[in-house]
Amino acid sequence: MEIRNLFTDLQAPCSEEVTETLLETGGFSLERIVSTGQSTPAGEWYDQEKDEWVILLSGGAALFFEGDDEVEVMRPGDYVFIPAHCRHRVEWTDKRVPTVWLALHYRTAR
C-alpha cells in the first residue's frame, strides 16, 4: 500500500493544466487537476457528458456558467456541483500558487 499526498509533485507554472486520474471505476472517476494560471480559451465552453462535483483545495479560480451575469470566485474549500451539459468555463486560475482541484465525474440516475 502506498500513501500519497495531493500537494506533492506540483508542477512549476507551465502552459498546460496537469490532470491525473486518482481512482476510476465503471461508475465514476476522481481526478486531481493542477492549474497554474490557465483558463478556458476565449469562445470555448466545457459541455461534459457526465455530472461533476469539484472542490478547490488550494489557489484560487473563477468559473463562469452560461446564462449567468457574473463569475463565481472559488477559494480553498469551496465546491460546486455541475450537472451534465451545463456549459461553463474557467475564467482564471491563480498564477502565483498552484490551484489544486479534485473533480469527481459520474452519471446520475435520472
Cβ neighbours of residue 9 under 8 Å, at least 6 residues apart? Answer: none
Residue whose C-alpha cell is 502506498: 2
Residue 83 has pLDDT above 80, yes or no: yes
- pLDDT band per the 50, 70, 90 thresholds, residue 110: low
Q: Which CATH number fits domain 18-106: 3.30.390.50, 2.40.30.10, 2.60.120.10, 3.30.830.10?
A: 2.60.120.10
Strand partners, 99: 35
- The whole-number pLDDT of residue 9 equals 80
Give the mean pLDDT of 58-76: 97
Q: Which of 65, 63, 44, 54 is nearest to 100 (CA)?
A: 54
- Contacts of residue 61, Cβ cutoff 8 Å, sequence gap at least 6: 35, 73, 74, 90, 91, 92, 93, 94, 99, 101
Taking the CA atoms of residue 42, residue 48, residue 54 and residue 60 in that order, the dihedral angle to the nearest 10 degrees is 0
Q: What pLDDT score does 10 carry?
A: 75
| Domain residue ranges of the chain, discontinuous segments joined by + | 18-106
